[in-house]
Amino acid sequence: MDPILIKHVREPNSFTLDFYLQHEGYEALKKALTLKPDQIIDMVKASGLRGRGGAGFPTGMKWQFVDKKIEPRYLACNADESEPGTFKDHLLMERNPHLLIEGCAIGCYAIGAKVAYIYIRGEFFHAQQVLEHAIDEAYARGLLGRNILGSGFDCDVYVHRGAGAYEAGEETALLESLEGKRAQPRNKPPFPAVVGLYGKPTAVNNVETLCNVPLIVSKGPDWYTSLGPEKNGGPKLYCVSGHVKRPGVYEASMNITLRELIEGHAGGVRDGRTLKAVIPGGSSVPILLPDQLDTQASFDAIQKAGSLLGSAAIIVLDDTTCMVWLAENLLHFYRHESCGKCTPCREGTDWLHKILRKIERGDGQMRDLDLLSNISANIAGKTLCAFGDAAVTPIVTTLKHFRHEYEAHIKEGRCTVPADWRARMPVGAH
Amino acid sequence: MSFHPKMAYDATFHKSAREREDEGPPFAYTPENRARFDAIVKRYPPESRRSAVLPALYLVQHQQGYVTANGIRHVAELLGITCADVEDVVSYYSMFYTKPAGRFVLNVCRTLPCAVNGAERVTEALSAKLGIKPGETDPTGTFTLMEVECLGACDRAPIVMVNDAWHECVKPVDAARLVDDLRARGEIVLSGCHLVVEREPR
């Protein structure tokens, strides 16, 4: 499949309104404004578009659930892209911002919202500047603001900058942050579609999801579903990173296999190295092994293989990677990013990290492995949001597939897979 | 006053006994920042002015380099919320500094995709060059070294974010030179985001 979403991103000035208008930009918005909002929701439902942020929930359903009896309603675009290994939304916002703005405007029209907030992570300051400039351009041409293209539809799009919190990527935590509070999740239900931003019905959609909406409106749901396997239609952006020759964002239909992505597009692991493991959907999902490379990279196929497509962040690890170190690295992340609202996650991630650090250092005992499993089981499923489950996944999955590495660390009292890219100082020395 | 058996009656570590922290110099927005603040607040419903707390704090940090108690009070007064509400936010988000930071804050991404490409070595090289540990500022107040979690550009690992700007594909052997270049020529030496094809090659 030829790229659609990122077709022009390497061309000069691809982020400008003039360039976008020359490439059929805002045609979908024009068409959408001639349709009824319900017709757009039906189109998105028929297309089977699934949320690209991680959960893969059908977007049309989400929009239908938005309570249309209550005014005002809001659209919140999740541009907090913080899942380790994910960098696709970054590319879209920086090189194709008008596609996102068009998607926001159509989304607002479909759910009857007049305001969309794009919540962008604080670290993407350069992308935010591009996006804000693009929004100004759209206002100047009457593509946003009052009475868009003479249709009587009003829509404002604002960028809201976060300030460094992974948890803000969780939809209810994002809304809390947008309301000027700590990014901590809310209890669900009620879901944001009923009680969202400022207590009003709100649709929260990922950047890539909203970028797919103009395609569906202009080319139709049938075209969209024909692009991929059943229930996994449309173009998909894959972020390939780690130990590969050509890391980057690759666009493909979900018919593609992990092997084609890793060995084809990304050039495979570096010469002289062998593939050890693949994390197919960001740091929060279970590891797949080299013999599972021929799995189709679709939501359903990856789930069947025992993992999740998540945000399609494929992290490739070669034979120099110590799996105990990997778990320690990721638990450092989760320990730092735990929002602190639920006790099992706040305290548990710290305990897990301390134990892993001890094992990595060579001071571990065999009973620590049972302790890791025990603590993990007491976090997973016992927190308000999915963070708890995500945080223990690196441990559960490495213990399942690479328990011998943990045991070797404990028996030999040192890391058994030292790599030249690791710090020379022992773990925790600084 | 405590009835806990291990806490003495004259305990000084009780919260109420703690001395107030330095409130910093008096703070008010400059007219330019006040105008920016007024424009930002309009984006949110009038009864939800509190939503502007993050942008308002960025303006404080932009103006005086870090967020002081006086800065917090100014934001609280403008938004009609309590200082505790604002402090709650400041203490939660990692991008606000509550102490003076160096002119260049070097944020090295330490999470998995950057780490497998040598981020730990980059931190070591910067640490050795500057003679400080991560989390510290050098004695001249020019550089602060930080280890941060995933910055979201794993295809260009390892990433070093310098203030708000990016430096990509940093090799450990080049890290020490980055310090000298920054000192001599400022942020212009940073690679920026490689996606920006319009920029002149460095």
Report the C-alpha dihedral over residues A172, A337, B155, A316, rounded to 10 degrees. Answer: -100
Q: Is the predicted pLDDT of residue A14 greater than 50, yes or no?
A: yes
Answer yes or no: do A91 and B195 touch at CB < 8 A: yes
Tokens of B101: 């930071």
Tens-digit pLDDT profile for residues B126-142: 999 999 999 999 999 99
Tokens of B24: 């910093």
Q: How close B10 comes to chain A (CA, Å)?
A: 30
Answer yes or no: do B50 and A121 touch at CB < 8 A: no
pLDDT of residue B202: 47
Tens-digit pLDDT profile for residues A318-342: 999 999 999 999 999 999 999 999 9
Query: Residue B138's CB: how many other CB atoms inside 10 A?
Result: 16
Answer yes or no: do B155 and A425 touch at CB < 8 A: no
Q: Write the CATH number of the domain with boundaries B104-189.
A: 3.40.30.10
Q: At what angle do helices B172-185 and B119-130 cross, to 10 degrees?
A: 50
pLDDT of residue B110: 95
Q: Which residues does residue B105 pair with via DSSP β-bridges, in sequence order?
A: B144
Q: Is the predicted pLDDT of residue B109 greater than 80, yes or no?
A: yes
pLDDT of residue A418: 74
Tokens of A35: 């349709």
Contact at 8 Å (CB) between A177 and A120? Answer: no
Tokens of A316: 């490739």
Burial of A289: CB neighbours in 10 Å, binned 0-12, 13-18, 19+: middle
Q: How close A24 comes to chain B (CA, Å)?
A: 22
Tokens of B19: 């001395």
Tens-digit pLDDT profile for residues B174-185: 888 999 999 999
What mean pLDDT is reported for chain A? Answer: 95
Tens-digit pLDDT profile for residues B141-175: 999 999 999 999 999 989 999 999 999 999 999 88
* A94, A161, A198: residue with CB nearest B54: A161
Q: How close B25 comes to chain A (CA, Å)?
A: 24
User: Chain A contact for B123, CB < 8 A?
Assistant: yes
Tens-digit pLDDT profile for residues B57-104: 999 999 999 999 999 999 999 999 999 999 999 999 999 999 999 999
Cα of B119 vs its chain's centroid, Å: 20
* B58, B94, B197: residue with CB nearest A161: B58
Please indicate whether residue B2 or residue A198 has the higher confidence score (pLDDT): A198
Per CB-CB distance under 8 Å, the chain A contacts of B36 are none
The nearest alpha carbon in chain B to A16 belongs to B198
Number of A/B CB contacts below 8 angstroms equals 167
Per CB-CB distance under 8 Å, the chain A contacts of B134 are 430
Q: How close B28 comes to chain A (CA, Å)?
A: 20
Answer yes or no: do B121 and A423 touch at CB < 8 A: yes
pLDDT of residue B4: 61
Q: How close B136 comes to chain A (CA, Å)?
A: 11
The CA distance from B7 to B15, in Å, is 13
Answer yes or no: do A421 and B116 touch at CB < 8 A: yes
Residues 6+ apart with CB under 8 A from A145: A139, A154, A155, A156
For chain A, the maximum distance between any two Cα atoms, rounded to a whole number of angstroms, is: 74
The CA distance from B44 to A426, in Å, is 49
pLDDT of residue B11: 54
Quote the CATH superfamily of domain B15-92. NADH-quinone oxidoreductase subunit E (1.10.10.1590)
What count of Cα atoms within 13 Å lies in the side-chain half-sphere of residue A231? 6
Contact at 8 Å (CB) between A391 and A345? Answer: yes
Answer yes or no: do A423 and B120 touch at CB < 8 A: yes
The CA distance from A183 to A338, in Å, is 10
Q: Where are the domains of chain B?
A: 15-92, 104-189
* A13, A283, A321: residue with CB nearest B116: A321
The nearest alpha carbon in chain A to B173 belongs to A421
Tokens of B36: 């920016």
Tens-digit pLDDT profile for residues A350-377: 999 999 999 998 899 999 999 999 999 9
Report the C-alpha dihedral over residues A294, A300, A302, A304, rounded to 10 degrees. Answer: -90
Tens-digit pLDDT profile for residues A85-120: 999 999 999 999 999 999 999 999 999 999 999 999
Tokens of A10: 């390497």
Per CB-CB distance under 8 Å, the chain B contacts of A86 are 152, 154
Q: How close B196 comes to chain A (CA, Å)?
A: 8
Comparing C-alpha atoms, which of A307, A309, A262, A303 is closest to residue A281? A309
pLDDT of residue A47: 96
Tens-digit pLDDT profile for residues A264-273: 999 999 999 9
Our separate counts of H helices and E strands in chain B read 7, 4
Domain A17-225 fold is: Rossmann fold (3.40.50)
pLDDT of residue B16: 54
Task: List B residues 32-51 in contact with A (Cβ-Cβ < 8 A).
Answer: 43, 45, 48, 50-51
Question: Phi first, then psi: what are they for A145, rounded to 5°?
Answer: 105, -145
Query: Residue A382's CB: how many other CB atoms inside 10 A?
Result: 14
Contact at 8 Å (CB) between B75 and B37? Answer: no
Per CB-CB distance under 8 Å, the chain B contacts of A239 are 154-155
Per CB-CB distance under 8 Å, the chain A contacts of B197 are 10-12
What count of Cα atoms within 13 Å lies in the side-chain half-sphere of residue B64? 22
* Domain limits, CATH 3.40.50.11540, in chain A: 17-225
ipTM score assigned to the predicted complex: 0.93
pLDDT band of residue B194 (cuts 50, 70, 90) is confident
User: Chain A contact for B133, CB < 8 A?
Assistant: yes
* B96, B151, B192: residue with CB nearest A163: B96
Answer yes or no: do B153 and A182 touch at CB < 8 A: no
Per CB-CB distance under 8 Å, the chain A contacts of B113 are 84-85, 241-242, 247, 315
Contact at 8 Å (CB) between A252 and A264? Answer: no
* Domain limits, CATH 1.20.1440.230, in chain A: 323-412
3-state secondary structure of A216: helix
Mean pLDDT of A418-426: 77
Q: How close A97 comes to chain B (CA, Å)?
A: 13
pLDDT of residue A416: 82
The CA distance from A394 to A413, in Å, is 22
The CA distance from A155 to A151, in Å, is 11
Tens-digit pLDDT profile for residues B10-41: 555 555 555 556 788 899 999 999 999 999 99
Q: Is the predicted pLDDT of residue A402 greater than 50, yes or no?
A: yes
Strands B165-167 and B143-148 come out as: unpaired
Q: How close B100 comes to chain A (CA, Å)?
A: 17
Answer yes or no: do A315 and B164 touch at CB < 8 A: no
* B92, B93, B150: residue with CB nearest A333: B150
Per CB-CB distance under 8 Å, the chain B contacts of A166 are 149-150
Contact at 8 Å (CB) between A160 and B54? Answer: yes
Architecture of the domain delimited by A323-412: Up-down Bundle (1.20)
CATH top class, domain A235-318: alpha beta
User: Chain A contact for B197, CB < 8 A?
Assistant: yes
Answer yes or no: do A82 and B95 touch at CB < 8 A: no
Answer yes or no: do B112 and A315 touch at CB < 8 A: yes
